[in-house]
């Protein structure tokens, strides 16, 4: 049986913290980790079977076949231009918003994207088998290798173009990042009024479950969709000491009404 390609990681943040061990456990051995933050790279190598710390972006003598850039979006293009790769290397980034073309000046024709659609934090374990992975590549060689890596850890793998992936990422920001921010604001409101965030947990769970079961369009409730202007005005009055929060409440209430044609 042909051995799986070995991998080097460039970046040791939240995504790499989970993705590198997942690939390692699936037989795609991670041999090297580079990060501008040496302590982050060292911590990640300790989670892997045989990975070594890499001090520079000179991978010219590396035995790895695949090089994954798991760094911030604004660092990808610079890394792609600076990294020195061995012959026939495959270089891929993991960004949802950056196009494949951001790797066009890399020192290899085999480039691609390996995008797991999930939110990652180091302290929260992730089951990669449930994480959709979206891949894109510009050569058949890169396509085959990236697909084999994705299929080894996930039950849902799809090939999509950069424009589709950007739409997916924008939608994900609304669904995840913005939702979490709203939860954070609700936490602050309760805390300021000596109430526990635990009081909202059953409501949060039911809201998410209902949106997944019958669709968010059908599960919207609240004063904005009811056109209950008296309640909205009383809420705005409650928030009038925080101008930005008051403005946000009004903006979202208007958006809900407009979205539902009210």
Instruction: Report domain extents, the chain.
Output: 7-160, 166-259
Using CA atoms, how far residue 133 sits from 8, 115, 140, 196, in Å, is 19, 5, 18, 37
Specify the residue for token string 């409730």.
Answer: 221
By DSSP bridging, strand 133-137 and strand 110-116 are antiparallel
The residues with which 7 forms a beta bridge, in sequence order, are: 30, 66
List of residues 6+ apart from 208 with CB closer than 8 A: none
**Token pair listed for 101:** 């073309």
pLDDT value of residue 181 = 97
Distance CA 213, CA 93 (A): 33
pLDDT value of residue 258 = 94
Distance CA 151, CA 168 (A): 20
14-25 helix and 38-45 helix, angle to the nearest 10 degrees: 30
Mean pLDDT, rounded, for 233-254? 95
pLDDT value of residue 262 = 78
**Token pair listed for 218:** 């059908």
User: pLDDT tens for residues 190-230?
Assistant: 999 999 999 999 999 999 999 999 999 999 999 999 999 99
Burial (Cβ within 10 Å: 0-12, 13-18, ≥19) of residue 185: middle
User: pLDDT tens for residues 4-30?
Assistant: 899 999 999 999 999 999 999 999 999
**Token pair listed for 5:** 């390609």
Mean pLDDT, rounded, for 57-63? 95
Using CA atoms, how far residue 258 sits from 231, 247, 251, in Å, is 18, 16, 10
The residues with which 69 forms a beta bridge, in sequence order, are: 10, 93
Mean pLDDT, rounded, for 20-44? 96
- To which CATH superfamily is domain 166-259 assigned? ProC-like, C-terminal domain (1.10.1040.20)
Report the half-sphere exposure of 67 (CA within 13 A, side-chain side).
31
pLDDT tier at 3, thresholds 50, 70, 90: confident
pLDDT tier at 261, thresholds 50, 70, 90: confident
User: pLDDT tens for residues 143-177?
Assistant: 999 999 999 999 999 999 999 999 999 999 999 99
The residues with which 33 forms a beta bridge, in sequence order, are: 9, 53
For domain 7-160, the CATH class is alpha beta
Distance CA 66, CA 89 (A): 6
């Amino acid at each position: 049986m042909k051995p799986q390609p070995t991998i080097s990681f460039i970046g040791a943040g939240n995504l790499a913290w989970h993705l590198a061990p997942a690939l390692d456990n699936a037989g795609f051995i991670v041999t090297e980790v580079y990060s501008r933050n040496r302590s982050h790279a060292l911590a990640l190598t300790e989670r892997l079977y045989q990975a070594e710390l890499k001090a520079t972006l000179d991978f010219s003598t590396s035995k790895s076949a695949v090089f994954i850039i798991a760094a911030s979006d604004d660092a990808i293009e610079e890394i792609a231009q600076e990294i020195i790769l061995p012959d026939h290397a495959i270089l891929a980034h993991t960004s949802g918003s950056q196009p494949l073309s951001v790797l066009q000046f890399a020192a290899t024709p085999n480039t691609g994207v390996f995008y797991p659609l999930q939110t990652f934090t180091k302290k929260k374990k992730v089951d990669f088998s449930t994480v959709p992975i979206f891949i894109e590549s510009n050569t058949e060689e890169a396509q085959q290798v990236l697909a084999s890596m994705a299929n080894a850890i996930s039950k849902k793998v799809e090939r999509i173009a950069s424009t589709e992936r950007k739409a997916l990422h924008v939608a994900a920001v609304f669904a995840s990042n913005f939702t979490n921010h709203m939860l954070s604001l609700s936490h602050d409101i309760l805390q300021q009024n000596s109430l526990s965030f635990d009081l909202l947990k059953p409501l949060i769970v039911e809201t998410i479950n209902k949106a997944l079961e019958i669709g968010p369009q059908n599960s919207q409730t609240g004063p904005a969709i009811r056109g209950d202007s008296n309640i909205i005005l009383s809420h705005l009055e409650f928030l009038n000491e925080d101008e930005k929060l008051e403005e946000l409440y009004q903006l979202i209430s208007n958006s809900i009404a407009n979205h539902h044609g009210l």
